Chain A
Amino acid sequence: MCSYIVEKAAIAGSAKGPRGWMRIDTANVYYDHPYDAPFDHALCVDFVSEADGGMERVAVELSRESALALIEKIQAALASGDAAHAVPSDEAESCERSSLVGSQTEVARLF
């Protein structure tokens, strides 16, 4: 159906469009008739910068199935990224100990 239902998400980041990178602050998300994708309905996301007037966007139109798969992959990527980027606990303790070893002057004497 044609509707004007939109979920607005406040986001922070950048998106790359035909004119290069732009700062984005909003994702307009809707599930309705797409403009281009050959589906009756598509999960559409328009990434825009409302702070800059919202005149440009980076857009995607996804099938329902691929949108759901993408949600899973985003969550999986965040989980594995969190695990990979986390500072191991023993390393963290080591860093803490190192910082207690000496003053900046004492460390500088080593070089």
Chain B
Amino acid sequence: MSYPGLIAETLSFFKGHNGDTGEAYYARPGQSGRVPGVVVIHHAPGWDEWITEVVRKFAHHGYASIAPHLYFREGPGTPDDVGARVRAAGGVSDDSVIGDVKGAMEFLRSQPNSNGKVGVIGFCSGGRHAYLAGCKLSGIDAVVDCWGGSVIVDDPKQLNAKRPVAPIDLTEKLTAPLLGIFGNDDQNPNRDQVNRTEEALKKLGKSYEFHRYDGAGHAFFNSTRTAFRAEQAADGWNKVFAFYRKHLATTA
């Protein structure tokens, strides 16, 4: 057997929220043929090396994938320094992230090898953003929320001008099928919050599947962290790819 090749690069002309132009990491399979796309949303610390690995993983599995640098507006510097500035300023606004995800979806669909289908996946705070995107954007074919914290907001003080709404309160507007991946030892979201999210989805008749893993906490896919759980992560990735095969495959 042989492994398929892929092409990966940083784009400097990614067009995001408000038409602002910045960087995004983009990878796609090397072989010809139409492919689905996946937008990857990074976590709060920033646009890091692990996120580029995730983008290449999708390309390796036959998807065109893009991870916009959600903090590119915050001036020059390395992604970690820019991420620190964003944190000190209270984080990035939901509107900005949703606009960037929309721009990333449009980019993927505009590529000549696109099959027209686009999924969104996010990790940690990016999982929350993925859930939010599923509720606020039209045209997403499948959403994956990996342990997104603060989808449910129990303390109203967490809401502010940048994050004015708890994503759970927008669940009625969710149009895309949703896959949720969670560790049962996670504290944000904790088991109760995951259960309440599932209850809301069930009550509203949404298409979803949730997978909960024992022996895993937050960020257990991330091989650069002690939170990494090889067995649970392998099964979780299988669930992600099965979900995207189901919802993003080219229709005849």
- Mark A residues whose CB is within 8 Å of B: 1-4, 6, 8, 28, 30, 32-36, 38-40, 46, 48, 54-57, 59
In the assembled complex, which residues on chain B have CB atoms less than 8 Å from the CB atom of A48?
88
Separation of A18 and B30 alpha carbons in the complex (Å): 39
A16 to chain B, nearest CB (A): 16
Separation of A68 and B149 alpha carbons in the complex (Å): 27
Q: Closest residue of chain B to A28, judged by CB?
A: B88
In the assembled complex, which residues on chain A have CB atoms less than 8 Å from the CB atom of B186?
1
Separation of A32 and B88 alpha carbons in the complex (Å): 13
Q: Are A38 and B80 in contact (CB under 8 A)?
A: no
Interface of B, secondary structure class, is loop
Separation of A1 and B125 alpha carbons in the complex (Å): 8
Q: Are A40 and B84 in contact (CB under 8 A)?
A: no
In the assembled complex, which residues on chain A have CB atoms less than 8 Å from the CB atom of B18?
none
Q: Closest residue of chain A to B188, judged by CB?
A: A1
- List residues of B (135-183) whose CB comes within 8 Å of A's CBs: 149
In the assembled complex, which residues on chain A have CB atoms less than 8 Å from the CB atom of B246?
none
Q: Are A33 and B124 in contact (CB under 8 A)?
A: yes
Separation of A72 and B225 alpha carbons in the complex (Å): 27
Separation of A109 and B48 alpha carbons in the complex (Å): 71
Q: Are B88 and A33 in contact (CB under 8 A)?
A: no
In the assembled complex, which residues on chain B have CB atoms less than 8 Å from the CB atom of A38?
224-226
Interface of A, secondary structure class, is loop
A33 to chain B, nearest CB (A): 5
Give the A-B contact count at a CB cut-off of 8 A.
Answer: 74
B46 CB–A CB distance under 8 Å: yes
- Mark B residues whose CB is within 8 Å of A: 43-46, 48, 75-77, 79-81, 83-85, 87-88, 90-91, 124-126, 149, 186-188, 217-219, 224-227
Q: Are B81 and A2 in contact (CB under 8 A)?
A: no
A30 to chain B, nearest CB (A): 7
In the assembled complex, which residues on chain B have CB atoms less than 8 Å from the CB atom of A28?
84, 87-88
Separation of A39 and B222 alpha carbons in the complex (Å): 11
Q: Are A1 and B124 in contact (CB under 8 A)?
A: yes
Q: Closest residue of chain A to B83, judged by CB?
A: A35
Give the 7 A-B residue pairs with the shortest CB-CB distance, closest first. Answer: A1-B188, A2-B44, A2-B125, A4-B91, A2-B124, A35-B80, A40-B227
Separation of A8 and B87 alpha carbons in the complex (Å): 11
With A35-B48, A54-B85 as contacts: A4 and B227 at CB distance below 8 Å: no
Question: Which listed residue, A1, A46, A56, A57, touches B218 by the CB 8 Å rule?
Answer: A1
Q: Closest residue of chain B to A59, judged by CB?
A: B84
Separation of A33 and B125 alpha carbons in the complex (Å): 11
Separation of A59 and B79 alpha carbons in the complex (Å): 13
Question: Which listed residue, A1, A4, A36, touches B80 by the CB 8 Å rule?
Answer: A36
